[in-house]
Amino acid sequence: MQRIALSSVDLAYVDCGAGTPVVLLHGFPLDHSMWSAQIDALSTTCRVIAPDLRGFGQSSLGNADPARGVSMEQYAEDVAALLDALAIREPIVLAGFSMGGYIAWQFVRKYTGRLRALVQCDTRDAADTDEARANRLKMAEHIHEWGSGRVAEMMGPRLFAAGKFESNPEIVQQLRRVVERTSPAAIAAAQRGMAARPDMTSILPKINVPALVIAGVEDALIPAKEMQQIATTIPNGQYVEIPNAGHMTTMENPKAVNAALQAFIGECCHSE
């Protein structure tokens, strides 16, 4: 991993391969490693940039105050600042996973001219329900007593398709270790930011780049039907359902996710 000091935060990131820049934004409370299989596959034909978002993995929380939260817009601004620092001026393919998808909507809203194509994985466009918001704020308030291990306990079973604990205990353990290493401050900051995130439904019909929407057929957090609706509402949207996967599609069925990404990127970037 490489590190860079931006004006308000130090970010760690993977930057490998050459060609069209593809930026991968991870989910909560994770780091770039949830994209490992995609980094390997895509970097054979593209330049892949996979940051640890502010506070996660090896990145600092910078000037953020966990008690106020980090907005999805702030994370998107960090991504734009990273691209500036790396002198990447050509339009990028941006892929967001779950919380990374909430951030990607903000990137679309603020920096649409910097986008060549959009990939949204296992995410949603709607804001939280009152219940979901209250649960996030409860976690943000208590995370310092609970510790990150309890978050791993709470979230773990809902992240994977039924039977994954038996059929692929390695990825379950791998993810658990990442969550346990995540600092309570980063968890509190991101939960407050997600609780406050706006409903983005109205921007979908205005998205003017090709978009791929990927859903795990057994996603227990974000039903595949919601993702399909997003793809239908984006004018140039495509939908791919990943079999044998719950929420963590990139880790549960990397072969299918890689194939979908490679076909999409090939279509919208390499066929000119």
- Total number of residues binding ligand MLT (CB under 6 A)? 6
Q: In angstroms, give the least distance from the CB of 22 to ligand MLT.
A: 19
3-state helix, strand, coil in the chain (%, to 5): 50, 15, 35
Binding track over 20-59 against ligand MLT, x by CB under 6 A: -------xx-------------------------------
Closer to ligand MLT by Cβ: residue 116 or 133: 133
Closer to ligand MLT by Cβ: residue 28 or 35: 28
Residue 89 corresponds to which amino acid? R
Asked if 176 contacts 152 with a C-beta cutoff of 8 angstroms, the reply is yes
Closer to ligand MLT by Cβ: residue 46 or 190: 190
Closer to ligand MLT by Cβ: residue 74 or 98: 98
For 47, 81, 116, 142, 174, the CA distances from 43, given in Å and listed in that order, are 6, 22, 17, 40, 22
Q: Which of 110, 185, 80 lies closest to 141, judged by CA?
A: 185
Asked if 98 interacts with ligand MLT (CB under 6 A), we say yes
Q: In angstroms, give the least distance from the CB of 241 to ligand MLT.
A: 18
User: Rounded to whole angstroms, how far apart are CA atoms 267 and 190?
Assistant: 34
Which of 14, 99, 140, 231 binds ligand MLT (CB under 6 A)? It is 99
Q: In angstroms, give the least distance from the CB of 194 to ligand MLT.
A: 6
Closer to ligand MLT by Cβ: residue 20 or 250: 250
User: Rounded to whole angstroms, how far apart are CA atoms 270 and 136?
Assistant: 41
Which of 49, 194, 227, 242 binds ligand MLT (CB under 6 A)? It is 194
Q: In angstroms, give the least distance from the CB of 98 to ligand MLT.
A: 3
Closer to ligand MLT by Cβ: residue 11 or 194: 194
In three-state secondary structure terms, 47 is strand
Quickly list H helices, the chain.
Answer: 36-42, 72-85, 99-110, 130-146, 148-159, 164-167, 169-181, 184-195, 224-233, 249-252, 254-265
- Strand 10-16, strand 2-5: pairing: antiparallel
Chain residues in the site for ligand MLT (CB under 6 A): 27-28, 98-99, 194, 221
